[in-house]
């Protein structure tokens, strides 16, 4: 009887450890996405590159790579512009070395005395590379405010 109870406790401990690992992986995947958008806000192109792996971005009906994104952002360098991102994660799934996330992204821009807000529904796929999550695919859908 003691062996059965010990075996059962061992199995439960293993299942609990496995569930905690998934939670850690989910948090790390989400942190990678947050860091990527923080790097975008800071116009830190090297950091953006370090958080991606052969990334493809589906933007406005086009397929971009990291260079396309960076080139689109370069005109903002040296300007007194501010971008604040708010990400709300709706789903985070992990399967071995692949993660996919769905989230709402709200970006508030401020510059030249003007304020703008954009909202997207986005999905992202990450791969684990040498123990670190890296973004491999990002798809954005611009959300337009619906009239009343």
Q: Which of 33, 53, 46 is nearest to 122 (CA)?
A: 33
Residues 90-147 have pLDDT tens digits of 999 999 999 999 999 999 999 888 999 999 999 999 999 999 999 999 999 999 876 5
Indicate yes or no: pTM above 0.75: yes
Residue that wins the pLDDT comparison between 56 and 9: 56
Residue that wins the pLDDT comparison between 112 and 9: 112
Residues 83-96 have pLDDT tens digits of 999 999 999 999 99
Listing DSSP states for 100-141 in one string gives EEEEEEEEEEEETTEEEEEEEEEEEEEEEETTEEEEEEEEEE
Q: Are 107 and 88 in contact (CB under 8 A)?
A: no
3-state DSSP call for residue 148?
coil
Q: Which two tokens stand for residue 57?
A: 């971005």
Task: Say whether pLDDT at 21 is over 70.
Answer: no
Every domain of the chain and the residues it spans: 2-143
Q: Which two tokens stand for residue 110?
A: 């401020």
Residues 43-90 have pLDDT tens digits of 999 999 999 999 999 988 899 999 999 999 999 898 888 999 999 999
pLDDT at 109: 94
C-alpha 94/C-alpha 26 separation (Å) is 7
C-alpha 65/C-alpha 55 separation (Å) is 6
C-alpha 16/C-alpha 37 separation (Å) is 32
- Identify each DSSP E strand in 1-113 by its residue range: 52-59, 62-64, 82-95, 98-111
pLDDT at 144: 87
Fold of 2-143: Nuclear Transport Factor 2; Chain: A, (3.10.450)
Give the pLDDT band of residue 2 (cuts 50, 70, 90): low
Task: Say whether pLDDT at 8 is over 50.
Answer: no
């Amino acid at each position: 009887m003691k062996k059965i109870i010990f075996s059962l406790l061992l199995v439960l401990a293993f299942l609990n450890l496995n569930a905690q690992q998934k939670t850690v992986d989910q948090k790390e995947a989400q942190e990678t996405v947050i860091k990527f958008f923080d790097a975008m806000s800071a116009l830190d192109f090297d950091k953006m590159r370090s958080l991606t792996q052969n990334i493809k971005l589906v933007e406005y009906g086009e397929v971009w790579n990291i260079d396309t994104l960076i080139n689109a952002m370069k005109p903002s360098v040296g300007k007194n512009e501010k971008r604040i991102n708010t990400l709300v994660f709706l789903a985070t799934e992990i399967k071995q070395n692949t993660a996919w996330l769905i989230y709402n992204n709200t970006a508030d821009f401020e510059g030249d005395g003007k304020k703008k807000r954009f909202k997207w529904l986005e999905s992202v796929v990450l791969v684990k590379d040498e123990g670190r999550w890296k973004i491999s695919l990002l798809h954005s859908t611009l959300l337009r405010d619906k009239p009343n």
